[in-house]
Chains A and B, each alone.
Chain A
Amino acid sequence: MENKTTKQEWPLWEVFIRSKAGLDHKHAGSLHAADAQMAIENARDVYTRRMEGVSIWVVESNYIHTSEPDQSAALFEPANDKIYRHPTFYDLPDELKHM
């Protein structure tokens, strides 16, 4: 049963930080905030106290969809036997340059 205080809890947000221009935003963690603006301000205080970021994304955790762990075999195992997708699969002479 949800009690009164739990119902009033601010929503949870996932925080993504770009550490410097040219790099992807990367998941840093999560936090609670009443709205997006507060989530960005809190993310700045919680996750970038030491110049860790130049840009912040926040998204309400409710909107994140995820693959199921028990489907991971079906999803990811087919890649295991396709090593020919990697350049090291091909056995070529050492004198071959620039490839």
Chain B
Amino acid sequence: MSLSTGAASFEEKIKNDIAIEPRDWMPDEYRKTLIRQISQHAHSEIVGMLPEGNWITRAPNLRRKAVLLAKVQDEAGHGLYLYSAAETLGISRDEMLDQLHSGKAKYSSIFNYPTLTWADMGAIGWLVDGAAIMNQVPLCRTSYGPYARAMVRVCKEESFHQRQGFEIMLTLSRGTAIQKKMAQDALNRWWWPSIMMFGPSDDNSPNSELSLKWRIKRFTNDELRQKFVDVSTEQTKILGLTIPDKDLKWNEARGHYDFGAINWDEFWNVVAGNGPCNKERLETRKKAWDEGAWVREAALAYSTKRKERKEKTLQTA
């Protein structure tokens, strides 16, 4: 296929909401954008296991422990769906992991904050997974087929994550004064990082315009952020907790909640690697990868040996 017919057929498909599949012609920049976005998304799922993994051994009872284990296992699964989707674009799994470990590829900055108390498991499920769902639901209709299919699977599973988080917050907020205080403290610490999860504001988001044109994204960062603030503010009322934003108030004319200014210096500072846990998260991932090297090599050696043995038996038979 010549470049120009390839480009025309690509534009036509995008215009008519027909999915782009791995072997279809696509602009280099589309491929690059997707590799960046999908691999960062995958890295976020994998690094995202760490803050919660921190509490598995200290969950308050067996039910909570089983639930948290299942949630963290889901996140591993989501990372794997996404890595596979990115591999269809021609990048290898090892290349992506190299990029994560060298710091070249980013992951969601939210996971560079520490999980100090059990209530953080509630706040993460409710707010962090809630924000992720708001981002991910439109991605089920993203223009690249393998990414969209991975997201359908992720979204189906993600709903339980948010509900279990809210349940933790609800239980704490209806508990003793100390428990309620713990829930409020978690909300105080996770609120702002959560609304930063939607990324820079629209006038400052370099990748947004092309992504919208190619229907990789369907909504802008600010649109999704507003929706999240509206929904979460109502949910907070059920908990009887207070969102740490004195400027948060209903705006009748807009039909939305107004909210205070986001501290973008903090956001960019964490992106740049200076958040409370950036170093620790990356070191933990690298250590797991390095210490698993002998397992990967041994499994491959064992498989080769068995294959050879089988061939030998076939020859002598």
* A49 & B300 in contact (Cβ 8 Å cutoff): no
Give Cα A12–Cα B98 distance, bound, in whole angstroms.
18
Asked whether A78 is an interface residue with its Cβ less than 8 Å from the other chain, the reply is no
User: B157 contacts which of A50, A66, A68, A69 (Cβ < 8 Å)?
Assistant: A50
**Besides A8-B296, A69-B23, 6 new A-B residue pairs in contact (Cβ under 8 A), listed by A number:** A8-B297, A10-B296, A29-B81, A46-B77, A69-B1, A69-B24
Asked whether A54 is an interface residue with its Cβ less than 8 Å from the other chain, the reply is no
* B157 & A34 in contact (Cβ 8 Å cutoff): no
Bitwise interface map of B from 67 to 83 toward A, beta carbon under 8 Å scored 1, else 0: 00010011001001100
User: A32 contacts which of B74, B93, B150, B153 (Cβ < 8 Å)?
Assistant: B93
* B23 & A9 in contact (Cβ 8 Å cutoff): no
Asked whether A59 is an interface residue with its Cβ less than 8 Å from the other chain, the reply is no
Asked whether A5 is an interface residue with its Cβ less than 8 Å from the other chain, the reply is yes
Mark B residues whose CB is within 8 Å of A: 1, 21, 23-25, 70, 73-74, 77, 80-81, 84, 87, 92-95, 98, 149-150, 153, 157, 296-297, 299-300, 302-303, 306
- Tell me which residues across on chain A come within 8 A of B297, comparing CB atoms: 8
Number of A residues, CB within 8 Å of B: 22
The chain A residue with its CB closest to the CB of B160 is A50
User: B300 contacts which of A10, A50, A69 (Cβ < 8 Å)?
Assistant: A10
Asked whether A55 is an interface residue with its Cβ less than 8 Å from the other chain, the reply is no
* B73 & A6 in contact (Cβ 8 Å cutoff): no
User: B306 contacts which of A35, A50, A66 (Cβ < 8 Å)?
Assistant: A35
The chain A residue with its CB closest to the CB of B302 is A34
* B157 & A31 in contact (Cβ 8 Å cutoff): no
- Given A6-B92, A49-B73, A30-B84 contact (CB < 8 Å): yes
- Tell me which residues across on chain A come within 8 A of B299, comparing CB atoms: 10, 34-35, 38
* A66 & B23 in contact (Cβ 8 Å cutoff): yes
Mark A residues whose CB is within 8 Å of B: 3, 5-6, 8-10, 12, 29-32, 34-35, 38, 45-46, 49-50, 66, 68-70
B190 CB to nearest A CB, Å? 27
B72 CB to nearest A CB, Å? 12
The chain A residue with its CB closest to the CB of B79 is A46
* B303 & A31 in contact (Cβ 8 Å cutoff): no
Cross-chain pairs A/B with CB under 8 angstroms, 27 sampled: A3-B94, A6-B92, A6-B94, A6-B95, A8-B297, A8-B300, A9-B93, A10-B299, A12-B87, A29-B81, A29-B150, A29-B153, A30-B84, A31-B80, A34-B296, A34-B302, A35-B302, A35-B303, A45-B77, A49-B73, A49-B74, A49-B77, A50-B157, A68-B23, A69-B1, A69-B23, A69-B25
* A46 & B80 in contact (Cβ 8 Å cutoff): yes
User: B303 contacts which of A29, A34, A69 (Cβ < 8 Å)?
Assistant: A34
The chain B residue with its CB closest to the CB of A9 is B94
* A34 & B300 in contact (Cβ 8 Å cutoff): yes
The chain A residue with its CB closest to the CB of B88 is A30
* B1 & A70 in contact (Cβ 8 Å cutoff): yes
The chain B residue with its CB closest to the CB of A5 is B94
Give Cα A14–Cα B174 distance, bound, in whole angstroms.
48
The chain A residue with its CB closest to the CB of B25 is A69
The chain A residue with its CB closest to the CB of B73 is A49
- Tell me which residues across on chain B come within 8 A of A70, comparing CB atoms: 1
B35 CB to nearest A CB, Å? 16
Give Cα A49–Cα B296 distance, bound, in whole angstroms.
24
Give Cα A6–Cα B87 distance, bound, in whole angstroms.
13
Give Cα A4–Cα B241 distance, bound, in whole angstroms.
53
List the 8 closest A-B pairs by CB distance, nearest first.
A34-B299, A35-B303, A70-B1, A34-B303, A5-B94, A30-B84, A6-B94, A69-B23
- Tell me which residues across on chain A come within 8 A of B81, comparing CB atoms: 29, 46
- Tell me which residues across on chain B come within 8 A of A5, comparing CB atoms: 94, 98
